[in-house]
């Protein structure tokens, strides 16, 4: 991965992208390239510069800000907490940027500001038809939500053509990475603790959301659950929440959000808060089985249901769990049963999040007493 520094001023530091030139170090030595030249595009391509989309946006903004009288010249970042020390748009444009991921809602970057602070920047796509008033209202609402298991929105930026959201930076990837990318086996106690944390955050979100927001999260999946690892503990933080009300159409929702995995969406029915419960159930099944939900997720739920109906075979458990725990699978089966209730085809048969959280805490308590927390 290559990190670049996006600067508004002209300078000569190696590896920095400037508004008029790019100074690159290669096997042929230093090369100074005009930013508008075809040579620059070739260099960026060969360097496999992962944050090109963000750079293109920055260069565009610099050009706009140079024009006198342009109304966007006065648009700045809007901060949720006005009392906290913060940075301005120039600081953000001057940050080094590493791409963290590409999603259907937009690309996400790790931005390191010149004074050392690190934030996550999401450059949204597909919302250009949205009014600034609607965007600002939703961002202020989401930014007011504070919970240890929900990612914190620090600030946001909006103009006619661009919308950015600046989040706190979480340093250890996502739950998807932990389960499927990392090579370290994930203990049962860690999995259970993460599931409980997600349930706590989702329950708080549902309690805090206005009744007009039928699906408070709308995009819950393992890649949208970030992991903060500190003092041997894994703390999950839910991200990418609350964008469903901003999407222009049901077609956009199908293309962009995890809620399209629900049976009611494929049946053309209206989504409710129970869509989040279904997606939570898929996440729990992923944690228990170690399998990635294929397609719309129903295949994983159907497979797990078939295994459960066959006398609760240990085939349903992740091989890592079977190797580490040769006995005492009762609580694992209990959590699996809870996940299957969440993925019931009829939304009304799915448990409420408050009930889910209570039962998960009971499972954790029993698991600890039985010595499975190790």
Cα angle, residue 300 at apex, residues 298 and 303 outer, rounded to 5°: 105
Predicted confidence at residue 191, as pLDDT, reads 96
Cα angle, residue 361 at apex, residues 355 and 366 outer, rounded to 5°: 130
Closest CA relative to residue 121, chosen from 65, 165, 187: 165
Q: How far apart are CA 307 and CA 287, in angstroms?
A: 16
Would you say the C-alpha torsion 258, 261, 262, 268 has a positive or negative sign? positive
Token match 């260099």: residue? Answer: 43
Q: Is-contact 215 277, C-beta < 8 A?
A: no
What are the angstrom distances between the C-alpha of 214 and each of 210, 239, 269, 275?
A: 8, 18, 13, 9
- At 108, which helix (H) or strand (E)? strand 106-112
Q: How far apart are CA 50 and CA 45, in angstroms?
A: 9
Domains and their CATH numbers in the chain: 4-168 (3.30.200.20), 175-369 (1.10.510.10)
The β-bridge relationship of strands 29-34 and 21-26 is antiparallel
Task: Please provide residue 208's backbone torsions phi and psi, each rounded to the nearest 5 degrees.
Answer: -90, -15
The mean pLDDT values, 10 residues at a time, for the chain of 374 residues are 36 33 38 41 36 54 49 70 81 87 87 90 83 90 94 91 91 92 88 98 90 80 93 92 78 60 83 92 96 73 88 86 85 95 95 96 90 52
Predicted confidence at residue 43, as pLDDT, reads 32
Predicted confidence at residue 46, as pLDDT, reads 33
> Does residue 61 sit in helix, strand or coil?
helix
Q: Which two tokens stand for residue 2?
A: 């290559």
**Which tens digit of pLDDT belongs to each residue from 296-349?**
556 888 899 888 888 777 889 999 998 888 877 899 999 999 999 999 999 999
> Does residue 202 sit in helix, strand or coil?
helix
């Amino acid at each position: 991965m290559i990190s670049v520094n996006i600067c508004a001023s002209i300078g000569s530091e190696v590896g920095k992208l400037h508004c008029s030139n790019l100074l690159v170090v290669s096997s042929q030595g230093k090369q100074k390239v005009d930013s508008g030249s075809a040579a620059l595009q070739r260099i960026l391509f060969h360097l496999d510069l992962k944050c090109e989309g963000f750079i293109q946006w920055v260069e565009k903004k610099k050009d706009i800000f140079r024009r006198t009288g342009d109304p966007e010249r006065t648009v700045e970042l809007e901060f949720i907490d006005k009392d906290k020390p913060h940075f301005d748009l120039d600081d953000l444009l001057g940050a080094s940027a590493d791409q963290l991921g590409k999603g259907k809602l937009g690309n996400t970057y790790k931005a390191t500001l010149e004074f050392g602070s690190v934030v996550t920047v999401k450059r949204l796509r597909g919302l250009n038809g949205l009014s600034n008033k609607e965007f600002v209202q939703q961002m202020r609402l989401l930014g007011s939500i504070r919970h240890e298991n929900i990612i914190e929105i620090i600030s946001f930026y909006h103009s006619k053509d661009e919308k950015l959201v600046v989040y706190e930076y979480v340093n250890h990837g996502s739950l998807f990475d932990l389960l499927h990318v990392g090579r370290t086996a994930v203990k049962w106690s860690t999995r259970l603790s993460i599931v409980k944390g997600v349930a706590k955050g989702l329950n708080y979100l549902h309690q805090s959301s206005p009744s007009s927001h039928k699906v408070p999260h709308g995009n819950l999946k393992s890649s949208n659950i970030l992991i903060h690892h500190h003092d041997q503990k894994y703390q999950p933080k839910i991200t990418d929440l609350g964008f469903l009300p901003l999407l222009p159409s049901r077609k956009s929702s199908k293309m962009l959000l995890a809620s399209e995995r629900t049976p009611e969406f494929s049946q053309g029915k209206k989504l409710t808060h129970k869509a989040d419960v279904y997606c939570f159930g898929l996440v729990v099944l992923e944690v228990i089985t170690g399998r990635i939900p294929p397609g719309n997720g129903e295949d994983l739920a159907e497979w797990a249901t078939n295994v459960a109906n066959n006398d609760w075979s240990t085939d349903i458990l992740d091989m890592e769990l079977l190797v580490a725990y040769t006995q005492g699978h009762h609580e694992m089966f209990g959590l699996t049963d809870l996940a299957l209730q969440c993925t019931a085809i009829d939304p009304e048969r799915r448990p409420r999040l408050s009930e889910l959280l209570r039962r998960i805490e009971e499972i954790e308590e029993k698991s600890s007493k039985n010595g499975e927390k190790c």
